[in-house]
Amino acid sequence: MASPAFTVTITHVEHYTESYFRLRVTRPEGLRFVSGQFMMIGLQLEDRHIMRAYSIASAYWDEELEFYSIIIQDGELTSRLQHVKVGDEVILSARPVGTLTLRGLKPRGKRLFMLSTGTGIAPFASVIRDDEVYDKFDEVYLTHTCRFVKDLTYGFDRINEAKECPLVGEEATTKLFHYGSVTREPYKYEGRITTLIENGKFFSDLGIPSFDCETDRIMICGSLAMLHDTQKLLDVLGFDRGSNSRPGEYVWEQAFTG
């Protein structure tokens, strides 16, 4: 288990639904990260600490750090973390790391697609407020699929924030597109993102051409099953998975895939 390096103070807690909440904490001085990376966060108990990997959802330039969490009622960490309040302390590991970054993508892409389910949107909340993404890509698409419409709120809020942001707002307004779909109730966009890609509805809904590995780059964050199902679709289309040392046409976060 990772050892805690920093103790930080909670500055904001916002519960979106009974299953999802966000936390903002003070940022340790000198802590740097690249958009899309994750770190371990957790709680110090009397006799031990519990830490889990969380993507950093705040922008690289933000004075605070943000994390977006699911609540699992019998989960060791989130059953406790759901009750924290402003002023409480959480612990963080020393160094953000990860493979879900722009570094893992080959240059000369024109469109960037970020595909997420559930809390998988967190790293992309950081990426969409990174100026580098708008320097590198002409069009930036963020998809978020959840069970229910109310679960999409966090994503809508972050998109609005990006469009109002002093650093990237102007570019985000013209280049950033959001696509939220749900799987367990009626909505204008319904279905798993894998299904919507496969049957072409995702592309027709947005009025854009389908994936092309020459010009498109893809970042994926979701459950292990979602990653593998997406990979199967991308394999057929000739997309190769990249890493920090060997860039490719798409990346995902290996840390959450066991």
Contacting positions for ligand A2P (CB under 6 A)? 117-118, 145-147, 183-184, 192-194, 223, 225-226, 229
One-letter amino acid for residue 131 of the chain = D
Q: How far is the CB of 129 from ligand A2P (least distance, A)?
A: 23
Please state, in angstroms and rounded to a whole number, the distance separating the CA atoms of residues 131 and 95: 22
Question: Minimum distance from CB of 194 to ligand A2P (Å)?
Answer: 4
Cβ closest to ligand A2P, residue 11 vs residue 223: 223
* Bridge partners, residue 160, by sequence: none
Tokens of 148: 């229910």
For residue 162, what are the CA distances in angstroms to 85, 97, 122, 129?
26, 23, 13, 6
Instruction: Determine the Cα–Cα distance for residues 42 and 103; give it in Å rounded to an integer.
Output: 27
Identity of the residue, 215 or 223, whose beta carbon is nearer to ligand A2P in the bound complex: 223
Minimum CB separation of residue 220 from ligand A2P in Å reads 10
100 within 8 A of 112, measured Cβ to Cβ:
no
Q: Name the minimum Å distance from CB 104 to ligand A2P.
A: 21
Nearer to ligand A2P, 37 or 181 (CB): 181
Q: Between 132 and 187, whose beta carbon lies closer to ligand A2P? A: 187
Taking the least distance from each CB to ligand A2P, the nearer of 44 and 183 is: 183
- The CB-of-46 to ligand A2P minimum distance in angstroms stands at 32
Q: Which residues contact 257 (CB under 8 A, 6 or more apart)?
A: 224, 227
Go through 8-17 and write b for each residue having 16 or more CB atoms within 10 A of its CB, e for each that does not: bebbebeeee
